[in-house]
């Protein structure tokens, strides 16, 4: 049956279209096709080809994602003899559930208009609250940065940022937020490379703190995203000095706090075996590099005066003297996440307490 805009048996739609509400006579709720009059109403998307309506649900064909709720509504003046179906149509942002009872907003379908985004965000938060959702993750790409203030106004907070996006979060339930905080650590590596002549590969950096002027140090750097500790050490040595190496062991690691941006710092010292000898200095970061006799390296005043540096060198020398064993790495897959990871551990066979390098 065709629903006409001015059918005397139906309540006028023109008043409610703009506010996304429809009142329908139940006799006409079994289904109808779009008529030219219906298509021309303000607020009805021309992309919707037709509607199929029942007493239980309403659905539309189009690009927007809707959450639709229906419930009976009694019309004044009927004396209880009849009722109409009140259909409330609420536009919500496209999102998918995470594994912790929250939702992740699909950034590919974010509206570009801030006013449209604000309206849908408010509707979405109401909808998710009714559904019992908890945390909301909203990844805002750089090209949608004008929407960030809108989200903040609706109660979202900054979680973390990268070059191409800012991550915002919102905790819906009452009580303390249970969403995990941003990453708390940065991870650095140092490569202790010593050759058969008992010489250590050392560098002097172009940019350094005044207190470290003149210091020859081992090559160091930061781990890249999704990079192994030992792989990062090998890469940093190659980038700064041009020397190829292979990983032997993690000798020791340092844990410090409030290092950069109020984050904690993990620094892993890795023993590496050199596979080449010719040094090629990275002109961007390194002032100079060379092979320095171990004794001369350790006797530098800055190393002797610093308890941390001196202890690290003592451990490295103990390892060379076969009086200490570092941590080897083994690739393993855990059932908890199904991912390949590296386990660092120390194993000594009963017949070999010298930790000889194979």
Cα torsion 345, 348, 349, 354 to 10°: value is: 140
Please, where are the H alpha helices in 131-213?
Answer: 148-153
Helix (H) or strand (E) holding 109: none
pLDDT at 122 over 50: yes
Give the position of tokens 């059918």: 7
pLDDT reported for residue 355? 63
The terminus-to-terminus CA distance of the chain in angstroms comes to 85
Q: How many whole angstroms separate alpha carbon 283 and alpha carbon 241?
A: 10
Which one has a higher pLDDT value, 84 or 313? Answer: 313
Residue 154 has which token pair?
A: 């609706």
Region 238-263: mean pLDDT is: 94
pLDDT reported for residue 134? 95
* Strand blocks (E) in the chain: 21-24, 51-53, 58-60, 66-73, 84-91, 95-97, 103-105, 135-141, 157-162, 165-171, 185-193, 199-205, 220-222, 245-260, 263-274, 286-293, 328-333, 340-345
Q: How many whole angstroms separate alpha carbon 203 and alpha carbon 220?
A: 9
What are the residues facing 70 on neighbouring strands?
87
Percent of the chain at pLDDT > 70 equals: 72
Encode 243-303 in three state secondary structure: CCEEEEEEEEEEEEEEEECCEEEEEEEEEEEECCCCCCCCCCCEEEEEEEEHHHHHCCHHH
Q: How many whole angstroms separate alpha carbon 266 and alpha carbon 87?
A: 57
Just give the CATH number of 88-171. 3.40.630.30
> For residue 168, what is the DSSP state?
E
Per domain, the residue ranges of the chain are: 88-171, 185-345
Number of H helices, E strands in the chain: 7, 18
Q: Which CATH homologous superfamily contains domain 185-345? A: Nucleoside Triphosphate Pyrophosphohydrolase (3.90.79.10)
CA distances to 82, 123, 135, 178, 311 from 174, rounded to whole Å, are: 40, 18, 11, 11, 50
Q: How many whole angstroms separate alpha carbon 319 and alpha carbon 88?
A: 73
pLDDT at 179 over 80: yes
pLDDT reported for residue 198? 96
Region 141-167: mean pLDDT is: 96
Q: What is the pLDDT of residues 51-96, one digit of tens each?
A: 333 333 333 333 344 444 433 444 444 444 444 444 344 589 999 9
**Mean pLDDT for all residues in the chain:** 79
pLDDT at 6 over 70: no
């Amino acid at each position: 049956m065709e629903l006409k805009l001015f059918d005397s048996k139906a309540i006028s739609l023109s008043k409610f279209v703009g506010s996304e509400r429809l009142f329908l006579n139940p006799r006409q709720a079994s289904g109808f096709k779009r008529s030219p009059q219906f298509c021309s109403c303000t607020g009805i998307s021309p992309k919707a080809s037709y509607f199929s309506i029942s007493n239980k649900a309403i659905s539309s064909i189009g690009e927007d994602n809707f959450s639709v709720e229906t419930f009976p509504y009694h019309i004044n003046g009927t004396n209880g003899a009849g009722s109409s179906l009140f259909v409330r149509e609420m536009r919500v942002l496209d999102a998918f559930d995470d594994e912790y009872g929250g939702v992740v907003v699909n950034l590919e379908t974010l509206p570009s208009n801030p006013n449209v985004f604000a309206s849908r965000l408010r509707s979405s938060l109401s909808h998710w609250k009714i559904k019992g959702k908890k945390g909301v993750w909203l990844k805002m790409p750089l090209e949608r940065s004008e929407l960030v203030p809108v989200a903040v106004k609706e109660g979202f907070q900054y979680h973390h940022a990268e070059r191409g996006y800012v991550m915002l979060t919102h905790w819906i339930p009452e009580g303390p937020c249970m969403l995990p905080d941003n990453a708390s650590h940065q991870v650095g590596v140092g490569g202790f490379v010593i050759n058969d002549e008992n010489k250590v590969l050392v560098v002097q950096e172009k940019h350094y703190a005044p207190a470290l002027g003149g210091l020859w140090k081992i090559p160091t750097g930061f781990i890249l995203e999704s990079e192994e500790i030992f792989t990062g050490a090998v890469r940093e040595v190659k980038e700064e000095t041009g020397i190829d190496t292979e990983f032997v062991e993690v000798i020791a690691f340092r844990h410090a706090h409030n290092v950069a941006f109020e984050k904690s710092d993990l620094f892993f010292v890795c023993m590496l075996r050199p596979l080449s000898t010719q040094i090629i200095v990275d002109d961007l970061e390194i002032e100079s590099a060379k092979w320095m006799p171990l004794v001369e390296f350790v006797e530098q005043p800055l190393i002797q005066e610093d308890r941390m540096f001196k202890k690290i060198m003592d451990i490295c020398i103990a390892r060379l003297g076969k009086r200490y064993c570092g941590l080897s790495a083994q690739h393993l897959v855990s059932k908890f996440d199904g991912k390949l990871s590296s386990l660092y551990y120390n194993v000594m066979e009963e017949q070999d307490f010298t930790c000889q390098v194979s």
